[in-house]
Amino acid sequence: MKKIEDLIRPNIANILPYPPGKPIEEVKRELGVKDVIKMASNENAWGPSPKALEAIKKASLDVNLYPDGNSYYLKQKLSEKLAVSMDEIIVGNGTDEVIRIITETFLNSGEEVVVAWPGFVIYSIATNVMAGSLKKTSLKNYTHDLDAMLNAVTDKTKLLFVANPNNPTGTTVDKNQVQSFMEKVPEDVIVVFDEAYYEYAGKDFPQTLQYVKQGKNVIILRTFSKIYGLAGLRVGYGIAKKEMLIEMNRIRQPFNVNRIAQAAAIAALDDSEHVKKSLAMNEEGKKYLYKELGAMGLEYVPTAANFILVDIKRSGREIYGKLLKEGVIVRPVDNYDLPNFLRVTICRPAENKRFVESLKKILK
């Protein structure tokens, strides 16, 4: 009998599974710490909208029924909000699923995918699943170097991912940079703008919807996992021209977004006050953490998202482990080739303060 490793496709063997943020329950179980806070996965620390919670309760009564396989009413609500056609929206089980749908639809074996590094690990996994060739370009001042990405494009390039704001650095490329980039990128290359943290980024952020409306080969990704506080329900979406989504929907799984997630997302879109409150509290927490980190003599990357990349000046993995014992979960980013950094989610005032006090204690 053949060994399992002889049965799988060779490109799968090279994939390292995505390392999720450590759950609170696991830290309690493994370390015996009773009071644990999580500042690792960039969730909205203020939770979901009360309207979303009410919608969840109502939708839970019908979980014996399959959900709407087309997410019709959620697409309708998004269509109204974004001023695009419902045919230009695809809804997924988080944007992770939409990324997989993109590569499974368009990427042939050996074709190239250009990404910036450090960047979102899922791009690499989705590329390798399809036996594509990943080309990494280095960040410049912790930010996408769009010129370097253009220079990496060849006649074999099929996809180009731009995470804006970028994860794990929290940096953005501005509208002038994006416009110049879009004028130069070849027409047959599909550009994916991953805008998971779009709502945090501010008014001067590039408005990439214009490229979809111009009929360009552009896909925009957004999510309900961040500002809307619905990470546990897994619902994200993509925006692209109708012709692209017809092909992507051929392989989208039926009933891919559950009934409760659809209901919660629809309700969340109606609660602009909750979004405003979350943004205001995020800005307040950001200023506090900037001040405290600076007072400790630590450098950080100014962020346009709800997390901060902090230079610890020593092993981030080691400090991460010591913070776990204090009941504080952050994210080491050595798998992003940033061994001396931690990524820290901006949370509620008490949680931010506890992180600062714990870090001070450890660094002393």
Q: Edge-to-edge strand order for the sheet containing 341-345?
A: 299-301, 307-311, 341-345, 331-332
Interatomic CA distance for residues 353 and 346, integer angstroms: 11
Task: Please tell me the predicted confidence (pLDDT) of residue 174.
Answer: 94
Q: Which of 121, 43, 118 is CA-nearest to residue 306?
A: 43
Structure tokens, 266 = 């629809």
Domains of the chain: 4-47+273-363 (3.90.1150.10), 50-269 (3.40.640.10)
Q: Where are the alpha helices (DSSP H) in 32-71?
A: 50-59
**Full pLDDT tens readout for the chain, 364 residues:** 777 777 888 888 778 777 777 788 888 888 888 899 999 999 999 999 999 999 999 999 999 999 999 999 999 999 999 999 999 999 999 999 999 999 999 999 999 999 999 999 999 999 999 999 999 999 999 999 999 999 999 999 999 999 999 999 999 999 999 999 999 999 999 999 999 999 999 878 999 999 999 999 999 999 999 999 999 999 999 999 999 999 999 999 999 999 999 999 999 999 999 999 999 999 999 999 999 999 999 999 999 999 999 999 999 999 999 999 999 999 999 989 999 999 999 999 999 999 999 999 999 8
Where do we find the tokens 């111009």?
214
